[in-house]
Amino acid sequence: MDLDDKMIKMALSTNVRKSRLALNLTQDELSEKSNISTQLLKEIESGRMIGSVSTLIKLCIALDTTPNNILYDLFENKQNHDEDLTFKINKLSNRDKNLMEILINNMIKN
């Protein structure tokens, strides 16, 4: 999938706004909590700006979320695969989970 700035801005805009509203925060409250300007937040939520990595991290901390959640839409296909794998692992017995962990750790080392 080819990502362009428009797609990134849209995902960021939509999910920052949704997260803010879910916490019943105004833009001014989130700006203060994340230590960014209200104007920058308005630009991000309107989809006109992306902001820096630092801004994204500040917003995630203030919203009590992760970049994965904020940018979920951009990685949905990969996320679905990861969630499916996690779901399958969770179905295993504790013994089998431990074996899977050993196997994965050995695969990572090589």
Percent of the chain with pLDDT over 70: 91
Counting beta carbons within 10 angstroms of the beta carbon of residue 16, is it exposed (0 to 12), middle (13 to 18) or buried (19 or more)?
Answer: buried
**Structure confidence by residue, pLDDT tens digits, 15-24:** 999 999 999 9
CA 20 to chain CA mean position, Å: 14
Per the structure block, which two tokens stand in for 101? 């962990």
Comparison of pLDDT for 93 and 37, the residue scoring more: 37
- pLDDT at res. 45: 97
Mean pLDDT computed over every residue of the chain: 89
